[in-house]
Amino acid sequence: MDYALQVKGHNPIDFFTFFIRDEQNKILGGCSGCNLYGCLYIDQLWLIEHLRNKGLGTKLVHAAEQFGKEKDCTFATVNTMDWEALGFYKKLGFKIEFERHGFKKDSVFYFLRKPLL
């Protein structure tokens, strides 16, 4: 981290984690990642199955985006397989930046990007 500051003037990387919890404080879902030199990188997003499609994933992504804006990130990135959450991220305004092919069973790994205004 010090090297990036010394060579490029980059601030240290800040990590984030947001959780959805129940009344007993049990974790039911979460979102984690970091700000990476002007990019908000969403590394993990998950919800237990019965809470999906209720707007909670959107709330977690919006919390991450707010974190990114506070850290002066100009764009957000996330990765997903074709059988995971591609439609969800597209609905939130992410666009496919590039695809990686060659995975078993013809799966495709998508790299998505969204501007943070």
> In this structure, are residues 32 and 43 in contact, taking their beta carbons and an 8 Å threshold?
yes
Confidence of residue 85 (pLDDT cuts 50, 70, 90): very high
Segment among 1-5, 29-33, 83-87, 96-100 with least mean pLDDT = 1-5
3-state secondary structure of 18: strand
Q: What residue segments make up the domains of the chain, in order of their start? A: 2-115
The H-assigned helical ranges of 9-98 are: 56-70, 86-91
Q: What is the pLDDT of residues 22-78, one digit of tens each?
A: 999 999 999 999 999 999 999 999 999 999 999 999 999 999 999 999 999 999 999
Q: What is the pLDDT of residue 11?
A: 74
In the CATH scheme, what is the code of domain 2-115?
A: 3.40.630.30
